[in-house]
Structure 1
Amino acid sequence: MRTVSIDIETYSSVDLAKSGVYRYVESPDFEILLFGYSVDGKEVQVVDLAGGDELPDEIRLALTDPAVMKWAFNAQFERICLSKWLRFPSGQYLDPQSWRCTMIWSAYMGLPLSLEGTGAVLGLEKQKLTEGKHLIRYFCMPCKSTAVNDQRTRNLPIHAPDKWSEFKAYNCRDVETEISIQAKLEKFPMPDSVWTEYCMDQEINDRGVALDMDLVHHAIEADERSRSELTVQLRLLTELENPNSVVQMKQWLSDNGLETDTLGKKTVVELLKTASEPLCKVLELRQSLAKSSVKKYTAMENVICADGRARGMFQFYGANRTGRWAGRLIQLQNLPQNHIPDLEQARSLVRSGNYAALEMLYNRVPEVLSELIRTAFVPKDGCKFIVADFSAIEARVIAWLSGEHWRNDVFATHGKIYEASASQMFDVPIEEITKGSPLRQKGKIAELALGYGGSVGALKAMGALEMGLVDDTNSNLLSLPGVHPTQISSDYGGMLTALQ
């Protein structure tokens, strides 16, 4: 036995989408229902574990044998679930070194991150069965108790034998589909170096990061209290039944002379610049109430494992065009910055549940909670976090790939790429563009927005209009002050610089 392809069907009362697989398997009612496998590409076998069948000894031994390569689509799910099934201690999992993931291989080839999508793109003869979603909802998730189902909260095989037979066929087909994907991709092997990175990614996800759950729980309580108070204030000011409703709020603003198509974050910021009272007060309250970043505390509560660590925060090759990691669950790649000068004091007040002092010392509780999110992540005893970052790594690599020699020269000397870009954009000597200069900020926007092929829309999304770059609706280009749009070349270097 050299390889074994695996697909399992499981049950847990924990919501997999909200909590991730590491928390999912810690539910007391977690179990593996079906185990589909194929040894060295041979005929697929389905073991009905829920029906009392036993997994063959050679397959059980292969799961921990480093000489046998285990394959699965989204192998992390199978690996973590089987770790629990094999009774590994909490926080310990099967070694990823002997696992390979067909989903990652597909992502490396620019294919979808789903078995169904990849099968469709590759035109496989044996596609994933579409009725699987209904069967998963029926057997793998809790059901609502009703008089019709005798108040049960879970569907078992005995409740629908025909569906159970279909489910076993579905499990078998998934393994067949995974094997077919491997066969299709064999001509395009993934480099060993990428598989090494994948294993490292799995180890990072397995290790996870500790959370200060005292802070998390009290932050959620503070947010709920703050939201309740803000809602009461908005009701008093607007007399709306539900001030959280976008439709009702937009209508109220319209009735009071302020028209807007959206209540998005950027739009509200712009409206606040000209709004008069009480509209300004209503918009400020609405802004605080809509603070979405505090929802990360709830995400932390959902994913926390028994040992106080959050796991599964990263998706390897989540951005399959560039190979970059994607954030999952808590979304660690998008954490709010903290600028509170007395951060430790604010953290102490929230952690101790002193809401009265928090409200008295700080104007907006949601904003404080947002800035404290980073502090919820804590190192284990005897360790500390060390934060590091590559300096302008994207700009350096893109400049090298595109052959922009003047940019490479900038990095090889003073390294002030934002200033250098702004200098060429606005024909201003680089010495006049200091760190606090608005021109530097415009150079930074162009740098970050255009590096990966972004155009007008990317510039707008990065705040170009707010920074003074003019929207020329006739040419559909963003004009630079004093520079005609036709002076801007369509190549990467020209997109960044107004060629004089």
Structure 2
Amino acid sequence: MEKQKLTEGKDLIKYFCSPCSPTKSNSGRVRNLPEHDIDKWERFKVYNLRDVEAEMSIQQRLSKFLVPENIWKEYHLDQEINDRGIAIDMAFVKQAVVMDEHSREKLMATMQEITNLENPNSVQQMKDWLADNGLETDTLGKKAVAEMLKTAPEPLGTVLELRQQLAKSSVKKYTAMENAVCSDGRARGMFQFYGANRTGRFSGRLIQLQNLPQNHMPDLEQARALVRSGNFDALTLLYDSNPEVLSELIRTAFIPREGMKFIVADFSAIEARVIAWLAGEKWRLDVFQKGGDIYCASASQMFNVPVEKHGVNGHLRQKGKIAELALGYGGSVGALKSMGALEMGIEEEELQPLVTAWRQSNPNITKLWWDVDRAVKTCVKQKSPTETHGIKFIYQSGMLFIVLPSGRRLAYVKPRMGENMFGGESVTYEGVGGTKKWERIESYGPKFVENIVQAISRDILCHAMQTLKNCSIVAHVHDEIIIEADMEMSLPAICEQMARTPTWANGLLLSADGYECLFYQKD
């Protein structure tokens, strides 16, 4: 743009818009006013003027790309959900914070007693202590500690286990709840509409509902009752790790209004269904049609043997599962490793054959990757529209637009051809990358397919939310909707309405499942 924002604005805003510390040199004042620095004030006025000019310039640029009416409707519903909020059991939260502090004090005291360290929670102090005791390590990350625990002698093993417990971030979420809750006991504003740059998915804010630990405890309700009543001794007696218990109980802090219940409904394997539908991978569509287990079916397709969960060749289901999770968007050996294939007992030499088997058993999905790759490259090179698998690619005003079946458009700024690390062609565009800074990002067919599939999944979630908009939705997480419902409301009816296929997705088989609860949890 011709008129950019001035870079010195941050310092000027801090000077004039934030309280300052009283000192002798500033005569004990707590605010900086114009008369305290005339030169800075003049520059601040220029900055604000340029700020408005830059914003107007952005608005002028964007005016040719009107937001469709259905997106405004989605945004309106998002604001209603954010304003409605979700109730938090503050009596439970306060006790959880107290218990966490008590637990941390005990863990620290035990670690100090064993190590004689001033601060056993210090990474450097702990690394030095381990080295002095014959165990050298570059990192104290979760995976590294788990690996060291397999062979660490005592008392090193005990210290590492205690450190693992201490590293649990449970109290941070509870503290976030205390900070976010309103005077009526509800937390609001937890969802950022269009928070994800590429796909338009929602992002979590404040308590980050999208990023909560799972619960696996069989006696969740009893553990929750012990925490709520502040019975620290009983909790310590019955469970090995208090931080672990508090971590698993985070979800249970969210409760429905008195006399009501939660209905939690989510889509079954939504991305796997969408990519199979887009690619026309018939055997997968048949599995979904018959209500089969996609992980078993995938393993069966890959290894040409029947696979049943807890039955014949059941051990192969795990390989089918990790292949499904890691390989759908062009992933290879590295993706399998990142997903923890080696930790699950799959041998290094099995990884590449697993990749090959998955791609051979999913030829239409593999074809989809490279059809999209060609369509994007042709569109960017020739600056002309292309289409494949019902997805349109348009170059307009220095932007690449991918038009989804719903009609929504994904935007990629200033696309151009580049060269990848292997010397081949790749498409690059500008955006916020992994460094959280504006930069040029490289992409290719499978990555664009990932964006497309996740964006379509997001549109399906929004369609379901519009269908259920009169049912008091209080939250949504990835492919899940949480409804604050009357006791009479029917779970099957909610799941049936949620699984209705949008008119623009003819042939896509959706399925939703759910459960009822008096506090939020993972079923």
**TM-score normalised by length of structure 2:** 0.64
Maintained 8 Å contact 1:426/1:481? no
Which residue of 337, 342, 348 maps to 2:214? Answer: 337
Shift in Å, 1:168: 4.0
Aligned to 1:401: 278
Question: Whole-Å Cα distance in 2 between the matches of residues 489 and 247 of structure 1?
Answer: 48
Instruction: Give the secondary structure class of the aligned counterpart of 1:384.
Output: strand
| 1:147 and 2:24 aligned | yes
Maintained 8 Å contact 1:433/1:439? no
Aligned to 1:478: 351
Map of 1:428-443 to 2, 5 A cutoff?
Answer: 428-431=305-308, 434=311, 437-443=314-320
Question: Whole-Å Cα distance in 2 between the matches of residues 354 and 436 of structure 1?
Answer: 46
1:142 to 1:227, Cα distance in 2 relative to 1, 3 A? farther
Aligned to 1:262: 139
Question: Whole-Å Cα distance in 2 between the matches of residues 336 and 193 of structure 1?
Answer: 34
Which residue of 108, 111, 116 maps to 1:239? Answer: 116
| 1:199 and 2:72 aligned | no
Shift in Å, 1:481: 6.6
Instruction: Give the secondary structure class of the aligned counterpart of 2:194.
Output: strand
Shift in Å, 1:156: 4.2
Shift in Å, 1:165: 4.2
Aligned to 2:269: 392
Q: Which moved more, 1:236-245 or 1:162-171?
A: 162-171
Unaligned runs of 5+ in 1: 1-123
Which residue of 298, 316, 320 maps to 2:175? Answer: 298
Over the aligned positions, Cα root-mean-square deviation in angstroms equals: 3.0
Instruction: Give the secondary structure class of the aligned counterpart of 1:206.
Output: helix
| 1:287 and 2:160 aligned | no
Which residue of 82, 88, 91 maps to 1:214? Answer: 91
| 1:178 and 2:84 aligned | no
Q: Which moved more, 1:175-184 or 1:191-200?
A: 175-184
Question: Whole-Å Cα distance in 2 between the matches of residues 326 and 436 of structure 1?
Answer: 40
Deviation string 1:336-378 (CA, Å, 9 cap, x unpaired) is 2223333223222222323233223322111111111111111
Instruction: Give the secondary structure class of the aligned counterpart of 2:351.
Output: strand
Aligned to 2:256: 379
Question: Whole-Å Cα distance in 1 between the matches of residues 115 and 261 of structure 2?
Answer: 48
Deviation string 1:442-464 (CA, Å, 9 cap, x unpaired) is 22222222334444443222211
1:309 to 1:431, Cα distance in 2 relative to 1, 3 A? closer
Question: Whole-Å Cα distance in 2 between the matches of residues 479 and 212 of structure 1?
Answer: 49
Question: Whole-Å Cα distance in 2 between the matches of residues 443 and 315 of structure 1?
Answer: 34
Tell me the number of residue pairs that the alignment of Structure 1 and Structure 2 aligns.
Answer: 369
The one-letter code sitting in structure 2 at the alignment partner of 1:262 is T
Instruction: Give the secondary structure class of the aligned counterpart of 1:479.
Output: helix
Which residue of 15, 24, 27 maps to 1:138? Answer: 15
Instruction: Give the secondary structure class of the aligned counterpart of 1:387.
Output: strand
Shift in Å, 1:482: 11
Shift in Å, 1:418: 1.0
Question: Whole-Å Cα distance in 2 between the matches of residues 394 and 436 of structure 1?
Answer: 26
1:271 to 1:492, Cα distance in 2 relative to 1, 3 A? farther
1:484 to 1:332, Cα distance in 2 relative to 1, 3 A? closer
Shift in Å, 1:290: 0.4
Question: Whole-Å Cα distance in 2 between the matches of residues 262 and 206 of structure 1?
Answer: 43
Question: Whole-Å Cα distance in 2 between the matches of residues 486 and 325 of structure 1?
Answer: 31
Instruction: Give the secondary structure class of the aligned counterpart of 2:244.
Output: helix
Instruction: Give the secondary structure class of the aligned counterpart of 1:285.
Output: helix
Question: Whole-Å Cα distance in 1 between the matches of residues 40 and 355 of structure 2?
Answer: 70
| 1:362 and 2:235 aligned | no
Query: How many percent identity over aligned positions?
Result: 68
Shift in Å, 1:471: 3.5
Maintained 8 Å contact 1:211/1:377? yes
Question: Whole-Å Cα distance in 2 between the matches of residues 419 and 361 of structure 1?
Answer: 37
Maintained 8 Å contact 2:327/2:355? no
Question: Whole-Å Cα distance in 2 between the matches of residues 286 and 245 of structure 1?
Answer: 10
Aligned to 2:292: 415
Q: Which moved more, 1:145-154 or 1:255-264?
A: 145-154
1:255 to 1:438, Cα distance in 2 relative to 1, 3 A? farther
Deviation string 1:98-119 (CA, Å, 9 cap, x unpaired) is xxxxxxxxxxxxxxxxxxxxxx
| 1:461 and 2:334 aligned | no
Deviation string 1:415-452 (CA, Å, 9 cap, x unpaired) is 32111112233333234775994422222222222334
The one-letter code sitting in structure 1 at the alignment partner of 2:269 is A
| 1:277 and 2:131 aligned | no
Instruction: Give the secondary structure class of the aligned counterpart of 1:130.
Output: coil
1:213 to 1:143, Cα distance in 2 relative to 1, 3 A? farther
Deviation string 1:63-105 (CA, Å, 9 cap, x unpaired) is xxxxxxxxxxxxxxxxxxxxxxxxxxxxxxxxxxxxxxxxxxx
Question: Whole-Å Cα distance in 2 between the matches of residues 478 and 168 of structure 1?
Answer: 61
Question: Whole-Å Cα distance in 2 between the matches of residues 211 and 147 of structure 1?
Answer: 46
Maintained 8 Å contact 2:127/2:137? yes
Question: Whole-Å Cα distance in 1 between the matches of residues 344 and 367 of structure 2?
Answer: 20
1:318 to 1:490, Cα distance in 2 relative to 1, 3 A? farther
Question: Whole-Å Cα distance in 2 between the matches of residues 160 and 222 of structure 1?
Answer: 50
Shift in Å, 1:393: 0.6
1:383 to 1:158, Cα distance in 2 relative to 1, 3 A? farther
Shift in Å, 1:333: 0.8
Shift in Å, 1:133: 1.4
Question: Whole-Å Cα distance in 1 between the matches of residues 69 and 240 of structure 2?
Answer: 54
Question: Whole-Å Cα distance in 1 between the matches of residues 198 and 345 of structure 2?
Answer: 32
The one-letter code sitting in structure 2 at the alignment partner of 1:233 is T
Deviation string 1:19-77 (CA, Å, 9 cap, x unpaired) is xxxxxxxxxxxxxxxxxxxxxxxxxxxxxxxxxxxxxxxxxxxxxxxxxxxxxxxxxxx
Question: Whole-Å Cα distance in 2 between the matches of residues 261 and 424 of structure 1?
Answer: 42
Aligned to 2:5: 128
1:484 to 1:401, Cα distance in 2 relative to 1, 3 A? closer
Shift in Å, 1:386: 1.0
The structure in which a higher percent of residues are strand is 2
Maintained 8 Å contact 2:303/2:357? no
Instruction: Give the secondary structure class of the aligned counterpart of 1:443.
Output: helix
Shift in Å, 1:283: 0.9
Shift in Å, 1:490: 9.6
1:353 to 1:436, Cα distance in 2 relative to 1, 3 A? farther
Q: Which has the higher contact order (CA 8 A, sep 6+)?
A: 2
Shift in Å, 1:148: 2.6
Aligned to 1:82: none
